[in-house]
Protein backbone atom coordinates (compact mmCIF):
# COMPACT_ATOMS: atom_id res chain seq x y z
CA UNK A 1 0.00 0.00 0.00
CA UNK A 2 1.54 3.28 -1.04
CA UNK A 3 1.74 6.31 1.23
CA UNK A 4 -1.26 8.05 -0.29
CA UNK A 5 -3.60 5.09 0.20
CA UNK A 6 -2.44 4.63 3.79
CA UNK A 7 -3.12 8.26 4.71
CA UNK A 8 -6.46 8.23 2.91
CA UNK A 9 -7.59 5.16 4.84
CA UNK A 10 -6.54 6.80 8.15
CA UNK A 11 -8.51 9.90 7.32
CA UNK A 12 -11.63 7.91 6.41
CA UNK A 13 -11.50 5.81 9.58
CA UNK A 14 -11.06 8.90 11.67
CA UNK A 15 -14.04 10.61 10.06
CA UNK A 16 -16.46 7.64 10.30
CA UNK A 17 -16.20 7.44 14.08
CA UNK A 18 -18.79 10.21 14.25
CA UNK A 19 -22.51 9.27 14.05
CA UNK A 20 -23.06 11.57 11.12
CA UNK A 21 -20.98 11.08 7.99
CA UNK A 22 -19.50 14.39 6.89
CA UNK A 23 -18.45 15.47 3.42
CA UNK A 24 -14.87 14.19 3.14
CA UNK A 25 -14.07 15.64 -0.25
CA UNK A 26 -12.07 18.62 1.01
CA UNK A 27 -10.25 16.59 3.64
CA UNK A 28 -9.27 13.92 1.12
CA UNK A 29 -8.15 16.56 -1.33
CA UNK A 30 -5.95 18.25 1.28
CA UNK A 31 -4.42 14.94 2.32
CA UNK A 32 -3.54 14.18 -1.26
CA UNK A 33 -2.00 17.64 -1.79
CA UNK A 34 0.09 17.28 1.36
CA UNK A 35 1.31 13.91 0.16
CA UNK A 36 2.34 15.33 -3.19
CA UNK A 37 4.16 18.19 -1.46
CA UNK A 38 6.14 15.80 0.72
CA UNK A 39 7.16 13.75 -2.30
CA UNK A 40 8.19 16.87 -4.16
CA UNK A 41 10.33 18.12 -1.24
CA UNK A 42 12.15 14.81 -1.11
CA UNK A 43 13.17 15.29 -4.73
CA UNK A 44 14.60 18.85 -4.14
CA UNK A 45 18.43 18.84 -3.81
CA UNK A 46 19.79 20.19 -0.48
CA UNK A 47 21.31 23.23 -2.15
CA UNK A 48 17.84 24.27 -3.43
CA UNK A 49 15.95 23.54 -0.21
CA UNK A 50 14.79 26.79 1.48
CA UNK A 51 14.42 25.15 4.88
CA UNK A 52 18.03 23.99 4.76
CA UNK A 53 19.29 27.50 4.20
CA UNK A 54 16.94 28.94 6.83
CA UNK A 55 18.66 26.73 9.39
CA UNK A 56 22.25 26.78 8.11
CA UNK A 57 22.63 30.48 7.21
CA UNK A 58 22.38 31.86 10.81
CA UNK A 59 24.78 29.18 12.04
CA UNK A 60 27.29 30.02 9.30
CA UNK A 61 27.00 33.75 9.99
CA UNK A 62 27.60 33.22 13.70
CA UNK A 63 30.69 31.16 12.94
CA UNK A 64 32.14 33.88 10.72
CA UNK A 65 31.57 36.49 13.44
CA UNK A 66 33.34 34.28 16.00
CA UNK A 67 36.32 33.74 13.71
CA UNK A 68 36.67 37.48 13.17
CA UNK A 69 36.01 38.75 16.68
CA UNK A 70 37.26 36.17 19.15
CA UNK A 71 41.04 36.23 18.33
CA UNK A 72 41.39 40.03 18.82
CA UNK A 73 39.43 39.81 22.07
CA UNK A 74 41.63 37.00 23.38
CA UNK A 75 44.78 38.85 22.33
CA UNK A 76 43.56 42.04 24.06
CA UNK A 77 42.86 40.21 27.29
CA UNK A 78 46.25 38.50 27.25
CA UNK A 79 48.29 41.62 26.53
CA UNK A 80 46.29 43.83 28.88
CA UNK A 81 46.19 41.67 31.97
CA UNK A 82 48.89 38.98 31.65
CA UNK A 83 46.99 37.30 34.47
CA UNK A 84 45.66 33.79 33.92
CA UNK A 85 43.14 32.38 36.32
CA UNK A 86 39.68 31.20 35.37
CA UNK A 87 38.37 31.78 38.89
CA UNK A 88 39.65 35.39 39.21
CA UNK A 89 37.22 38.29 39.47
CA UNK A 90 37.81 41.94 38.61
CA UNK A 91 38.32 44.33 41.51
CA UNK A 92 36.32 47.53 41.61
CA UNK A 93 39.63 49.36 41.52
CA UNK A 94 40.30 52.94 42.54
CA UNK A 95 43.92 53.92 43.21
CA UNK A 96 43.25 56.05 46.28
CA UNK A 97 41.52 53.12 48.00
CA UNK A 98 44.67 50.99 48.32
CA UNK A 99 47.46 52.93 50.02
CA UNK A 100 49.74 49.91 50.46
CA UNK A 101 49.58 49.15 46.76
CA UNK A 102 50.15 52.79 45.82
CA UNK A 103 53.12 53.14 48.14
CA UNK A 104 54.79 50.04 46.75
CA UNK A 105 54.34 51.32 43.19
CA UNK A 106 55.67 54.75 44.17
CA UNK A 107 58.64 53.12 45.90
CA UNK A 108 59.38 50.98 42.82
CA UNK A 109 59.20 53.89 40.38
CA UNK A 110 61.32 56.15 42.62
CA UNK A 111 63.86 53.30 42.92
CA UNK A 112 64.07 53.20 39.13
CA UNK A 113 64.62 56.94 39.07
CA UNK A 114 67.34 56.76 41.72
CA UNK A 115 69.11 54.06 39.77
CA UNK A 116 68.92 55.98 36.50
CA UNK A 117 70.09 59.14 38.21
CA UNK A 118 73.00 57.43 39.91
CA UNK A 119 74.23 55.15 37.14
CA UNK A 120 73.36 57.14 34.03
CA UNK A 121 74.09 60.64 35.39
CA UNK A 122 70.59 61.75 34.48
CA UNK A 123 68.77 63.90 37.00
CA UNK A 124 68.93 66.36 39.89
CA UNK A 125 70.19 63.84 42.48
CA UNK A 126 73.58 63.51 40.85
CA UNK A 127 74.99 66.29 42.98
CA UNK A 128 78.59 65.04 42.86
CA UNK A 129 78.81 65.58 39.10
CA UNK A 130 80.78 68.83 39.23
CA UNK A 131 83.14 67.49 41.82
CA UNK A 132 83.91 64.44 39.71
CA UNK A 133 85.05 66.62 36.84
CA UNK A 134 87.18 68.95 38.94
CA UNK A 135 89.11 66.78 41.39
CA UNK A 136 90.42 63.23 41.70
CA UNK A 137 88.55 60.88 44.00
CA UNK A 138 89.58 58.24 46.47
CA UNK A 139 88.19 54.74 46.09
CA UNK A 140 86.10 55.43 49.18
CA UNK A 141 84.51 58.51 47.63
CA UNK A 142 83.83 56.72 44.34
CA UNK A 143 81.96 53.93 46.09
CA UNK A 144 80.00 56.26 48.38
CA UNK A 145 78.83 58.11 45.27
CA UNK A 146 77.04 54.95 44.16
CA UNK A 147 75.61 54.28 47.61
CA UNK A 148 74.29 57.77 48.38
CA UNK A 149 71.10 57.71 46.21
CA UNK A 150 69.86 54.75 48.29
CA UNK A 151 70.91 55.95 51.75
CA UNK A 152 67.63 57.77 52.37
CA UNK A 153 65.74 54.57 51.55
CA UNK A 154 67.93 52.69 54.04
CA UNK A 155 67.31 55.37 56.64
CA UNK A 156 63.55 55.11 56.13
CA UNK A 157 63.64 51.34 56.48
CA UNK A 158 65.62 51.49 59.71
CA UNK A 159 63.07 53.93 61.13
CA UNK A 160 60.17 51.70 60.03
CA UNK A 161 59.03 54.32 57.55
CA UNK A 162 58.13 52.40 54.39
CA UNK A 163 56.15 55.18 52.76
CA UNK A 164 57.00 57.29 49.73
CA UNK A 165 55.54 60.74 49.18
CA UNK A 166 53.02 60.65 46.34
CA UNK A 167 49.75 62.12 45.07
CA UNK A 168 47.32 60.57 42.54
CA UNK A 169 45.19 62.65 40.14
CA UNK A 170 43.62 61.94 36.70
CA UNK A 171 46.21 61.72 33.93
CA UNK A 172 46.32 64.46 31.32
CA UNK A 173 47.62 61.98 28.71
CA UNK A 174 44.81 60.30 26.77
CA UNK A 175 46.27 56.76 26.85
CA UNK A 176 46.46 56.66 30.65
CA UNK A 177 43.96 56.88 33.50
CA UNK A 178 46.04 57.95 36.50
CA UNK A 179 48.90 60.34 37.20
CA UNK A 180 51.03 59.75 40.30
CA UNK A 181 53.31 62.58 41.43
CA UNK A 182 56.22 60.97 43.34
CA UNK A 183 58.55 63.00 45.57
CA UNK A 184 57.36 66.13 43.76
CA UNK A 185 59.65 65.69 40.73
CA UNK A 186 58.55 62.37 39.14
CA UNK A 187 55.39 62.04 37.01
CA UNK A 188 54.08 58.51 36.55
CA UNK A 189 51.15 58.15 34.09
CA UNK A 190 49.66 54.66 34.17
CA UNK A 191 46.76 52.24 33.83
CA UNK A 192 46.13 49.53 36.42
CA UNK A 193 43.72 46.62 36.75
CA UNK A 194 43.30 44.10 39.53
CA UNK A 195 42.03 40.55 39.93
CA UNK A 196 41.05 38.89 43.18
CA UNK A 197 41.07 35.17 43.91
CA UNK A 198 40.42 34.05 47.50
CA UNK A 199 43.25 35.54 49.64
CA UNK A 200 45.34 36.61 46.66
CA UNK A 201 45.17 39.82 44.62
CA UNK A 202 47.03 40.34 41.36
CA UNK A 203 47.59 43.66 39.62
CA UNK A 204 48.88 44.52 36.15
CA UNK A 205 49.97 47.99 35.10
CA UNK A 206 51.55 49.85 32.23
CA UNK A 207 52.57 53.46 31.88
CA UNK A 208 55.37 55.99 31.52
CA UNK A 209 57.29 58.05 34.02
CA UNK A 210 58.72 61.44 33.16
CA UNK A 211 61.70 63.17 34.80
CA UNK A 212 63.42 66.27 33.44
CA UNK A 213 61.61 65.86 30.08
CA UNK A 214 62.93 62.30 29.74
CA UNK A 215 60.26 59.62 29.29
CA UNK A 216 60.54 55.93 30.22
CA UNK A 217 58.08 53.15 29.45
CA UNK A 218 57.02 51.01 32.42
CA UNK A 219 55.28 47.63 32.62
CA UNK A 220 54.65 45.71 35.79
CA UNK A 221 52.85 43.08 37.82
CA UNK A 222 52.11 42.81 41.51
CA UNK A 223 50.86 39.98 43.69
CA UNK A 224 49.50 40.32 47.23
CA UNK A 225 48.73 37.41 49.53
CA UNK A 226 47.20 37.78 53.00
CA UNK A 227 46.60 35.25 55.74
CA UNK A 228 45.69 35.46 59.41
CA UNK A 229 49.24 35.95 60.72
CA UNK A 230 51.22 36.89 57.60
CA UNK A 231 51.07 39.20 54.59
CA UNK A 232 53.32 39.08 51.56
CA UNK A 233 53.55 41.20 48.42
CA UNK A 234 55.76 41.10 45.34
CA UNK A 235 56.16 43.83 42.74
CA UNK A 236 58.00 43.46 39.43
CA UNK A 237 58.59 46.44 37.14
CA UNK A 238 60.39 46.69 33.82
CA UNK A 239 61.56 50.17 32.79
CA UNK A 240 62.74 50.55 29.20
CA UNK A 241 65.58 53.02 28.70
CA UNK A 242 65.58 53.23 24.90
CA UNK A 243 63.18 52.81 21.99
CA UNK A 244 64.32 49.35 20.86
CA UNK A 245 64.15 48.03 24.48
CA UNK A 246 67.70 46.69 24.39
CA UNK A 247 68.48 48.78 27.50
CA UNK A 248 66.16 48.32 30.47
CA UNK A 249 65.83 48.05 34.23
CA UNK A 250 64.30 45.12 36.06
CA UNK A 251 62.98 45.99 39.53
CA UNK A 252 61.85 43.34 42.00
CA UNK A 253 60.46 44.33 45.38
CA UNK A 254 59.25 41.97 48.11
CA UNK A 255 57.65 42.76 51.46
CA UNK A 256 56.88 40.11 54.06
CA UNK A 257 55.27 40.90 57.39
CA UNK A 258 54.63 38.30 60.06
CA UNK A 259 54.55 38.16 63.85
CA UNK A 260 57.72 39.77 65.32
CA UNK A 261 59.46 39.85 61.95
CA UNK A 262 59.50 42.17 58.94
CA UNK A 263 61.52 41.59 55.79
CA UNK A 264 61.70 43.90 52.80
CA UNK A 265 63.99 43.67 49.82
CA UNK A 266 64.37 45.15 46.41
CA UNK A 267 66.64 44.36 43.54
CA UNK A 268 67.35 46.70 40.61
CA UNK A 269 69.22 45.31 37.63
CA UNK A 270 70.27 47.24 34.54
CA UNK A 271 70.45 45.20 31.34
CA UNK A 272 72.19 45.96 28.08
CA UNK A 273 71.51 43.41 25.34
CA UNK A 274 70.38 40.89 27.98
CA UNK A 275 73.58 41.30 30.05
CA UNK A 276 73.52 42.72 33.59
CA UNK A 277 75.80 45.77 33.74
CA UNK A 278 74.64 47.42 37.00
CA UNK A 279 72.91 46.14 40.11
CA UNK A 280 71.60 47.41 43.45
CA UNK A 281 70.27 45.00 46.08
CA UNK A 282 68.80 46.20 49.39
CA UNK A 283 67.61 43.81 52.12
CA UNK A 284 65.95 44.99 55.31
CA UNK A 285 65.25 42.68 58.23
CA UNK A 286 63.76 43.31 61.64
CA UNK A 287 63.48 40.52 64.16
CA UNK A 288 62.86 40.94 67.88
CA UNK A 289 63.54 44.70 67.58
CA UNK A 290 66.94 44.16 65.94
CA UNK A 291 67.12 45.96 62.59
CA UNK A 292 69.70 46.21 59.83
CA UNK A 293 69.89 46.95 56.11
CA UNK A 294 72.27 45.19 53.76
CA UNK A 295 73.18 46.93 50.49
CA UNK A 296 75.07 45.22 47.65
CA UNK A 297 76.23 47.09 44.55
CA UNK A 298 77.51 46.12 41.13
CA UNK A 299 78.40 49.02 38.85
CA UNK A 300 80.57 47.22 36.33
CA UNK A 301 79.53 44.37 34.08
CA UNK A 302 80.00 41.03 35.82
CA UNK A 303 79.62 37.48 34.52
CA UNK A 304 77.70 36.41 37.63
CA UNK A 305 75.93 37.75 40.70
CA UNK A 306 77.75 35.78 43.39
CA UNK A 307 78.57 37.56 46.65
CA UNK A 308 82.26 37.82 45.82
CA UNK A 309 81.40 39.60 42.58
CA UNK A 310 79.89 42.68 44.27
CA UNK A 311 81.84 45.91 43.86
CA UNK A 312 80.74 47.04 47.32
CA UNK A 313 78.64 45.72 50.21
CA UNK A 314 77.31 47.58 53.24
CA UNK A 315 75.59 46.48 56.43
CA UNK A 316 73.89 49.57 57.86
CA UNK A 317 72.26 49.87 61.28
CA UNK A 318 71.12 52.43 63.81
CA UNK A 319 73.71 53.47 66.43
CA UNK A 320 74.10 51.68 69.72
CA UNK A 321 73.76 53.55 73.03
CA UNK A 322 77.37 54.69 73.21
CA UNK A 323 77.65 55.83 69.57
CA UNK A 324 77.14 59.51 68.74
CA UNK A 325 76.35 59.28 65.00
CA UNK A 326 73.07 58.79 63.18
CA UNK A 327 73.90 55.61 61.24
CA UNK A 328 76.72 53.08 61.25
CA UNK A 329 77.93 50.70 58.55
CA UNK A 330 80.44 47.92 58.08
CA UNK A 331 81.56 47.81 54.45
CA UNK A 332 83.53 45.82 51.91
CA UNK A 333 84.78 47.59 48.81
CA UNK A 334 87.61 46.95 46.36
CA UNK A 335 88.76 43.90 48.29
CA UNK A 336 89.17 45.65 51.65
CA UNK A 337 86.95 45.98 54.68
CA UNK A 338 86.19 48.94 56.90
CA UNK A 339 83.77 50.82 59.13
CA UNK A 340 82.08 54.15 58.61
CA UNK A 341 79.70 56.48 60.37
CA UNK A 342 76.94 58.46 58.64
CA UNK A 343 75.88 61.78 60.13
CA UNK A 344 72.80 63.78 59.11
CA UNK A 345 73.35 67.55 59.02
CA UNK A 346 70.39 69.86 58.46
CA UNK A 347 71.15 72.97 56.40
CA UNK A 348 67.68 74.51 56.51
CA UNK A 349 64.03 73.38 56.64
CA UNK A 350 64.23 71.79 53.19
CA UNK A 351 67.85 70.72 52.77
CA UNK A 352 70.23 68.37 54.57
CA UNK A 353 73.42 66.41 53.91
CA UNK A 354 74.96 63.06 54.75
CA UNK A 355 78.53 63.11 56.04
CA UNK A 356 80.27 59.76 55.50
CA UNK A 357 83.37 59.23 57.68
CA UNK A 358 85.72 56.30 57.27
CA UNK A 359 86.44 55.27 60.87
CA UNK A 360 89.64 53.47 59.86
CA UNK A 361 90.98 56.30 57.72
CA UNK A 362 90.15 59.84 58.98
CA UNK A 363 91.15 61.37 55.63
CA UNK A 364 88.17 59.71 53.95
CA UNK A 365 85.28 62.10 54.56
CA UNK A 366 82.54 62.59 51.95
CA UNK A 367 79.63 65.04 52.17
CA UNK A 368 76.66 64.47 49.84
CA UNK A 369 73.12 65.74 49.66
CA UNK A 370 70.47 63.79 51.57
CA UNK A 371 67.29 62.71 49.77
pLDDT value of residue 76: 44
Average pLDDT, integer, range 21-41? 53
For residues 305 and 312, the answer to whether their CB atoms sit within 8 Å is no
Give pLDDT tens digits for 47-72: 555 555 566 566 666 665 566 655 55
The answer to whether the Cα torsion of 76, 82, 88, 89 is positive or negative is negative
Check residue 207 and give its pLDDT: 95
- Cβ atoms of 255 and 108 within 8 Å: the answer is no
When mean pLDDT is compared over 74-83, 189-198, 293-302, the highest value belongs to: 189-198
DSSP class of residue 47 equals: G
Band (pLDDT 50/70/90 cuts) for residue 10 is low
Q: Does 244 score more than 80 pLDDT?
A: yes
pLDDT above 90 as % of the chain:
26
Least confident of 47-61, 166-180, 215-229, 317-331: 47-61
For 247-286, the pLDDT digits (tens) are 999 999 998 887 777 888 889 888 888 888 888 899 998 8
Comparing CA positions, the residue from 139, 119, 138 lying closest to residue 129 is 119
pLDDT of residue 36 exceeding 60: no
pLDDT band of residue 339 (cuts 50, 70, 90) is very high
Higher pLDDT, 139 or 92: 139
In this prediction, residue 235 carries a pLDDT of: 92
Q: Residue 316's pLDDT is what? A: 95
Rg (CA), the chain: 37
Q: Span 295-318, mean pLDDT?
A: 77
Span 164-194, pLDDT tens digits: 788 999 999 999 999 999 887 889 999 998 8
Res 297 pLDDT > 70: yes
Which pLDDT belongs to residue 116?
A: 77
DSSP-derived secondary structure for 226-239: E-SSEEEEEEEEEE
Q: For the chain, give the mean pLDDT.
A: 76
Q: How far apart are CA 142 and CA 356, in angstroms?
A: 12
pLDDT reading at 356 higher than 60: yes
pLDDT at residue 25 in the model? 47
Amino acid sequence: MDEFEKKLKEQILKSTKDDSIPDLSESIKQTHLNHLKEKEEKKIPWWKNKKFFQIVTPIFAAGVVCLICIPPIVDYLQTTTSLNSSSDSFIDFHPNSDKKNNNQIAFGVSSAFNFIDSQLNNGPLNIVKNRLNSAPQSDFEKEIKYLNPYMYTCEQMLNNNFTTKYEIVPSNIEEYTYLMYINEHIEFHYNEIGFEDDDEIEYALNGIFIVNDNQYEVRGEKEVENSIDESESELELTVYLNDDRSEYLSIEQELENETNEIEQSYLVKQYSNKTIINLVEINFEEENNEKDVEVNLIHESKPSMEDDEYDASYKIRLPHNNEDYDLYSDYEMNNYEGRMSIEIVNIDANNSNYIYKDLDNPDNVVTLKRN
